Amino acid sequence: MSIIATYVKSPTETLLYTLGYSDWVDADQSEVLTGASTTVSPVTVPPLVAASAFSNISNVITLTVSGGEVDTTYTVQVTATSSLSQIKEDCLQFILQEPCA
């Protein structure tokens, strides 16, 4: 799997990111999202936290991303599961920089 997007943030920011999966699920089969999870690497202190929530109505996954260590590049793997037992993995990259002075 490849990185689908790269973002720059500071450790003090808490930001929302939304991934759409309407094109991935099979609407003809009434398929919907049934789960979402995230894995962050590398593990640092303080950690980058990427919490996921999903909607089976709009077939989107929303990530809340916070924390992290300055001068670190993180990969967040997002795993989506569907009602037809499909599994899709996408990766996002986060580059942590100092906040503006």
| pLDDT tens digits for range 3-39 | 999 999 999 999 999 999 999 999 999 999 999 999 9
Q: How far is CA 68 from each of CA 31, 85, 96, rounded to the nearest angstrom?
A: 35, 33, 7
State whether the Cα torsion 50-72-95-74 is positive or negative: negative
For residue 34, being part of any structural domain is answered with yes
Contact 69, 9 (CB under 8 A): no
* Residue 87 falls inside a structural domain: yes
| pLDDT tens digits along 36-91 | 999 999 999 999 999 999 999 999 999 999 999 999 999 999 999 999 999 999 99
Q: Does residue 92 lie in a domain region?
A: yes
The residue segments making up the domain with residue 77 are: 3-96
Question: What is d(CA 5, CA 46) in angstroms, rounded to the nearest whole number?
Answer: 23
What would the two tokens of residue 22 be? 């309407």
Residue owning tokens 């989506």: 80
- Reported pTM: 0.94
**Domains contained in the chain, number:** 1
* 101 falls within a domain: no
> What's the CATH number where 17 sits?
2.60.40.2820
**Beta strands at 48-55 and 73-82: parallel, antiparallel or unpaired:** unpaired
